[in-house]
Structure 1
Amino acid sequence: MELNRIIYVATYAGKILLESGGETYRVEDTIGRICNAYGIRKVESFVVPTAIITSAVSDEYKSKAVIKRIRNRSFNLQKIVRVNELSRKIQSEPITIRELYAELKAIDQANSYPLWLSSLFYSFISSGYVLFFAGSFLEMVNAFISASVMRLSMYIFEKDNYNVVFIHVLGGAVAAVSTLLLVYFGVGVQSNTILISVLMNLFPGLILANAIRDIMAGDTLSGVARTTEALLIAIAIAAGSGTVVALSMKWLGSGAV
């Protein structure tokens, strides 16, 4: 029974990491550390972006396997850090497996950044990019507002677990609509600079970085899967924003963009 609990809790820790944007090698390392901390030396894990398969063998040659399906993925570096620290802490400061599970549950259920704060981050990042591209103050204001509107619209569908590709198509389209409308009413002139600055929030940089890490570490399957996901997200952003820009040029003329 103890073997069952240990491997289940270890895989649960890996699930939190993978759902929070953790790398494949980190998930496998964390599962191994937790199992080793509770006396299980023979443990193997197979991790891809959508699933974790873990098997372990006790000293009595009893074996157990657990499969965890990953359906929702986001980016929460705070959860990654906390699980990472916890998996190392239990090696020097042992706790019971039930206490470990309770701590992991608390980490998993911890609230992420509130909507108003994430919207504010999006807005400041977009305004910063406009400044980097030598945009005017009005264009910074446009980017600030457009980024916030984009984040709010995406949140409505994120909380209902809509497909990530659809969410990014929507985000690109809303960003383009908001940017072009504000330019039309005189808030800024260079709509292309503003739109690029707003869309930078959606660029799948962390996914691409993790893909390269996985490939360099020999986890080719995970690396290719993450690369494909990043490409799909990039195409979705381009499709959403590009469609709106193309329609505005057709209906309002090239001067609208």
Structure 2
Amino acid sequence: MEEQAIQTKEIMEVCLLAGKIMLQSGGETYRVEDTMTRIAASFGLKQTHSYVTPTGIIFSAEGTGPTRTKLIRISERSTDLKKVDLVNSISRGISNGEIDLQEASERLNEIHSMDLTFPFRIQVVAASLASGCFMIMFNGTWNDFLPAMLTGGAGFLSYVYFHRFVPVKFFSEFLASFIIGLMSFFFVKMGFGHQLDKIIIGSVMTLVPGLLVTNAIRDLMAGHLVAGLSKGAEAFLTAFAIGAGIAAVVSFL
């Protein structure tokens, strides 16, 4: 009985670690719950229950002994779909009987400690190029491609640095969009840029919460109302911060 209780605890730890990695990396709520349930069932825990929100996971397992329940808190979230894919691969391997409990725990801990993000300089360059391309996509002219690149790169750079000093997304997004609006205005004023609206629209696209909106809609469609509404509210606050920063520049200048 004691050995079975220990094994149940280890299975729960693996399930919770997989769910934590996926939730922190931008995975949908229903995907996290489904992955944890499948992993537990593959290791012999058929009666499991999970409740996932963007800020926490509650997981319980029923066995021959008393029901075990554990809660973990999610304090930081980012976008790293590579980790989500790696956890999905491990989950499929567990379901197919290719990965045992010990190996799954080791591989999940390895993924959790990984830093799969691109170097910061590459992120800034990618944000700059994306801003210029978005500006063209919104019917901008090639004369504004370079101004859009510069403002988009500066906006993303300022967002990352502001977020390090002020760990509140609303303020860092507001300040980043304010800088984007300020730079766009001065580029147009100096004659370096031509279409102010197109430059601003292309530049702020790197700050737009596209993944949050998508996950919110998918969670709502899957019936996860609490998670869907909370993610939607977070996306709304981000959009409001971006709009407020641009509006502040347009109002005063």
Aligned pairs for 1:73-222 within 5 A: 73-111=77-115, 112-159=117-164, 162-222=167-227
Q: CA deviation at 1:159?
A: 4.3
2:3 corresponds in structure 1 to: none
Q: 1:70 aligns with which of 51, 71, 74?
A: 74
Q: Which runs of 5+ in 2 are unaligned?
A: 1-5
Corresponding residue SS for 2:60: strand
Change (3 A) 1:95 1:132: closer
Moved more, 102-111 or 188-197: 102-111
Q: Deviations over 1:218-240 (max 9, x none)?
A: 11111111111111111111111
State the TM-score, normalizing by the size of structure 1: 0.90
Corresponding residue SS for 2:50: strand
Q: Identity rate of aligned residues, in percent?
A: 34
Q: CA deviation at 1:204?
A: 1.5
- Contact 1:72-1:161 at 8 Å conserved across structures: no
Moved more, 175-184 or 137-146: 175-184
After the TM superposition, which parts of structure 1 deviate over 6 Å for at least 4 consecutive aligned residues? none
Q: What root-mean-square deviation, in Å, do the aligned CA atoms of Structure 1 and Structure 2 show?
A: 1.6
**Aligned equivalents of 1:3, 1:130: Cα separation in 2:** 54
Q: Which amino acid aligns with 1:63?
A: T
- Contact 1:136-1:188 at 8 Å conserved across structures: no
Moved more, 97-106 or 35-44: 97-106
1:251 corresponds in structure 2 to: none
State the TM-score, normalizing by the size of structure 2: 0.92
Change (3 A) 1:147 1:13: same
Change (3 A) 1:24 1:244: same
Corresponding residue SS for 2:205: helix
Q: Which runs of 5+ in 1 are unaligned?
A: 249-257
Moved more, 238-247 or 181-190: 181-190
Change (3 A) 1:208 1:133: closer
- Contact 1:24-1:219 at 8 Å conserved across structures: yes
Q: CA deviation at 1:82?
A: 0.9
